[in-house]
Structure formats: structure tokens, C-alpha cells
Structure 1
């Protein structure tokens, strides 16, 4: 599923260079940077914030998927301009890999990270997160209520542990030049027509949810799932799968080469493929589809707490969210109400948000026992 060993070597090297809230010297004269181009339709105020008194500027260490918005030109480089700081990225290929990073030296070195909802719960319950002081996040009141105060990101006393950044689905995508029949159901992955040319997401939560949907169960009700039926269903699917993917590149490369013609994929992957000129259709099967919310959180023992709050505010704020929702070739759904009101129908269609799926199952809150049971099923399927 992932290259943990090599990734951990990279991480250890990175962390040795970025211990704590790393610093670099400030130039002798601080110049106000020019405002980056902003097409959101509002005036942009440039803010300079030198956080130390010693003439040094802080480094914020950010854990994220490579190529996932934050490292775009309108992302980290713009944040560095606004707050006179440096952003360093630590990339991971799966959230399980991120969890391992945090367990093996990341806490106290990584400042902010981007898990999805169910993993946010795992990180919170493991004591890996700092509560977010929403008074230090001015855009908090602009965020869509549907994605605020999710139980996975909320402490027992009502503390906020993560902010929503983007939402989407992991649904069914295919190459219409190779898959010429009508596609309406998950059943198409189980037949012989495309055997050996199917890709499937190597994520135990998404895998079990998708199988639960296919077998007529409700994945949002984990207390009443028949895991044996799900395991048998996933084993049947495995006979047709040629690759389990964990990142954009894992999917894009075999898809564009023709090795893969159909499978479950992120909506963002479908957007990238379509906008690059590669034929791709993305549909919501009649049985239902899996939804997710990716969330920014602040890692325990950060030395850059205030700067981390500014990062959350920038990532979820109007300027970045508009660019993120409209960037050519790699747009994503916004969680910011002000931005959504500005989007045209064409822009919404570009992120598969014009048609709202009728059956979306969000990742459920799992007990530690359920998390272990689900992961055990998935590992047994892959090892069989």
C-alpha cells in the first residue's frame, strides 16, 4: 500500500533539518511583497508578520499529499508572502503513513497536517492534536455549517480539533472509450468485461464502506454491518483488480497508459484526467457512493501555534478557497460559503458538484475496536 520504510527515511532526514519551528535569517530590509494575483473578486490585504524578536522568521512544517492544493503557487508561496515565513512540506502517500510519521518523531516537528474525518478522530483520540482556537481563525464563520462541528473533530467539551478544507466523493470513474456500456452500478467492477483493468482505493475505511454499499448495507451504521459478507465481497472484487492505489500518481499513471480503465477514484482525480484531455466519466452509482471531508489540524506540541492558526485561516479563507475551486485542471469543492456563492454552474460542474448525488455515505465515527476490526478485514483481503 505504501513505502513506509523509504518514506520514514525521508521524514527523518527532513525532521533533522526542520526540528521544531525551524528558522532562517531575515534579510536586512523587509520589503512588502507584491500581492499575488487573486481572481476571487475581493481586495486582498497583505499582512507581514515577523514572529520572533531575534531577526529570524519561522518555518511551518506541513504534512500533506503532494500536489494537493497547498503547494500550488496560490498556496504556500502566497502564505509565505503574507506572513513573512517559510513553509516546508513533508509528503505522505496515505493517512496511515502520516499516522506512522507522527508516532515515530513527527509530533513536535510537524506543525499542521491534513487527514480526512475518520482519521481526524483517530489522531484526536490518540492525543496527537491541539485544539483550534477559532478566535484566531477569522474565516471560521464563513465555513459551511454542514462540515463544522463534525463528531470526529470535536472533543468531549466541544473543543474544535480540525477545520474542513474540501469535501468530495470517492465514486466510480471510467474511460468511456474503453468502457462503452452504460455504467450505473458498482456491479460493473465484479463482472468479466473489465477484469484485470480495475483500480481500487487502498484505504480500509473507503474499501469497507464501498463494499457495504454494494452488498446493500448501510456503512454509516457500523454497529450493524456484517463484516464477513463484506470480506467475501472484497475478495470477489480482488479477482478483478490489477492495482490498489494510494495517491493521485498511483491512479493517473496506469489510467493514462490504458492499464486501468475503470475503478473507484477521487472526484479530484477525475477532474485532473478530464482537464488534461484524457477521457474520463465520473458517476454516482445507484446504490450510493462514499463521501469525505479533508480537514486541517494542528499537531500536538507545535512551537508555531499562532502561525498554524493563520495557516488554517488561509487554507479555509476566501482567497485560497476561490483559487482552489477554480484552478484550471485541478479544481476542488469549496467549504467556504462566500466562495460557493461566486461560482458559476460551469465551475461547479468542473468539480462534479452541479449534480448532487442522492445517496452519499460519509465516513462514520468508529470506535477503536471497530477501527481494528475494519483494518483487520482489509489486511486479510489484501494478504489472501
Structure 2
């Protein structure tokens, strides 16, 4: 089957999962870059009658702030696993009936039944996409073949290092310092992490807030080294043809893993469109579309069976749940307020 015929078949299958006679509606999503690309959302809009509007976040910390100030603006949010419980406990979201989400049964059970997702028999989120966090670098600028988080702290690259503007900087630094329980650090360990991050600041060109910003920093030769969401920035930078390439590696101190899920904003008047969207994103069109747009890994392996060849399936870890187990999967820190306090103190330091 040709690629064009395959694409038509996937679209037909995806649209067939949507209820017939859909009434006109709207859907406002608070999400990440690449998660609302027109390439896969336009067919959903046409079939469902739900006009999609997306607002993008740069950090998981943005979800609470925007929901608290939004006044009912959003219908669906897509936080990472370490933020799902916060959204639930803060009362920002309603539970989801998985029986209403077509295709949900195909999601990896390790994600669908995760204790952050299912609490006391209620499902609070529908997994969407997952991946890992790597170190990205310029092989033509960095000496040797790096394999450690230490590259982010190397004074040889002063002024050419970047870091995501997010509390996860604490996780990275804690692993580099050899601390094991990175989501429940003691006061003394947090002080050591803070001191290390403050000492790193003279090396930092900029803390990036979005994948697009990091792409620009690397493409414009402002940054040679950073942490990055595996697959996305390297794909985008290398596609620009700037005369150089970037590479990625999982550090020997272990890589972080994340999984983003769809959550239903409490009291949304657009629940029908929201559930249709959640179903669509479990279809071949949705899972293949978001995986292509971002370079991340699908949560529903059966949905991508026709759009990925064997090599791509291996690259995107399809049916490779052992890879998940090799990662340090994000969790909500036990003392979230303390972690945010530390990260804000680092950014405020001279």
C-alpha cells in the first residue's frame, strides 16, 4: 500500500470512531507544542464539528497558574505524570469514564492503570504520549563522546549551555550529585542541589521555556549543550540544514521519563467535544499524527501498527515497555512547594 493510500485509510479509520451527526461545538486545549498540529487536528474538526483552539505551556508549572486565572477558558489539559495528582487534588479536573473513550483499551496498562492516573477506582486522565529527556549537544563543538549529566556543568562550554526552565532541573542535578530519591530530597540534599545550580548559572546562556525556543538557540549557534525532550529538538534542528547536526544521549546517571495525559477540566461545558477528542487521540490518525509532529513515543501501540515501519517502531519504543522501566519516571515531589521554592531561588540568584 502506498503512503498516500495508507494515510487515507488511517484517516477513514480514525473518523469512523467519532459519533455520527456531531453537533457544532468548541474545544479549548491547554497543551504543549506539537500536540495540536493542524496536520492531524483538521480531520477531527471536520468530522466532529468541534473547533479546536490551543494555548501552549512551557512548563508543567503553567497548568495550575493558567487554570487558576482562566475562569473556565479551558476544556482539556495535558499535564505530565508528575502534575496529574496536583490537578486532581487542587480540584481543577473531573474524572473521566474510560468506557466513553474509544480505543482506551489499547493503551499500555502500565500507563492506563498507573497509580497517579487511577485513584480509588476513578480514572483521572487518559494517556496521550510519552518519552524521555536526553542531553542534546553539538558533536562538532563538544570534545569526545559525552555520556554524563556533567556535560551540563562543564565550564569548557561556558555561555553555550542551556537548561529547561522547570523544577526538573532539580531532578537532573540531584542525579548528578548521586542522590537516589530525587522526588523526596532532604533539606540538606536540596541545599546541595541549589548550590550546584547557582554555581552553574555563569555557564548558562539561557533557561529555555519551550522546545521552539531551544531549537532557535541551537540553530542560531547560541547554545551547544542542553537537556531536551528526546526526539523533538534534534529532529527540528537537523531539518534546518544549518551545516551542522546535533546529537542526543541518555546519560549514564539514567534518563528521565515522562508521560503526558489528557485531563477533563472541571465543569467544562464542552465535555462532549472533549471526550471525542480523547477518543480521536487514541485512533491511528491521532497517535500517528502526534508521534510524527513531535518525535515522541505512542501510548497506544496498536494504533500505530500501519503508520510505522519496523525501524521506526524500534526507534519510538513501540511495545518496548522495558525501556519505560529503565527510566526515572517523573513523579510529583513529596514536598512540591519546597522544590518550587528552591528552583525559584536559583533563578533569582545573581
> Normalized against structure 2, the TM-score is what?
0.87
The equivalent residue for 1:110 is: 74
Alignment: residue pair count: 337
The equivalent residue for 2:224 is: 261
Alignment of 1:142-221 (within 5 A): 142-155=106-119, 157-204=120-167, 206-221=168-183
Residues 285/44 of structure 1: CA separation in 2 closer, same or farther (3 Å cut):
closer
In 1: Cα distance, 2:341 partner to 2:222 partner: 29
Tell me the CA shift for residue 234 of structure 1.
1.4
Cα RMSD, aligned residues only: 2.6
Residues 37/299 of structure 1: CA separation in 2 closer, same or farther (3 Å cut):
same
Tell me the CA shift for residue 264 of structure 1.
0.5
Q: Is the contact made by 1:61 and 1:87 (CA closer than 8 Å) also made in structure 2?
A: yes
Unaligned runs of 5+ residues in structure 2 are: none
In 2: Cα distance, 1:319 partner to 1:377 partner: 41
In 2: Cα distance, 1:261 partner to 1:146 partner: 35
Unaligned runs of 5+ residues in structure 1 are: 1-34
Confirm or deny that 1:304 pairs with 2:270.
yes
In 1: Cα distance, 2:268 partner to 2:112 partner: 23
In 2: Cα distance, 1:43 partner to 1:379 partner: 47
Residues 316/43 of structure 1: CA separation in 2 closer, same or farther (3 Å cut):
closer
Q: Is the contact made by 2:11 and 2:43 (CA closer than 8 Å) also made in structure 1?
A: no
The equivalent residue for 1:63 is: 30
Confirm or deny that 1:272 pairs with 2:236.
yes
Secondary structure, aligned partner of 1:138: coil
**More relative contact order in 1 or in 2 (CA 8 Å, sep 6+)?**
2
In 2: Cα distance, 1:349 partner to 1:121 partner: 31
Tell me the CA shift for residue 231 of structure 1.
1.3
Q: Is the contact made by 2:15 and 2:43 (CA closer than 8 Å) also made in structure 1?
A: no
Residues 301/36 of structure 1: CA separation in 2 closer, same or farther (3 Å cut):
farther
Q: Is the contact made by 2:102 and 2:282 (CA closer than 8 Å) also made in structure 1?
A: no
Tell me the CA shift for residue 346 of structure 1.
2.7
> Normalized against structure 1, the TM-score is what?
0.80
Deviations 1:180-210 (A, max 9, x none): 3211111122222111100101111x11111
Tell me the CA shift for residue 223 of structure 1.
5.5
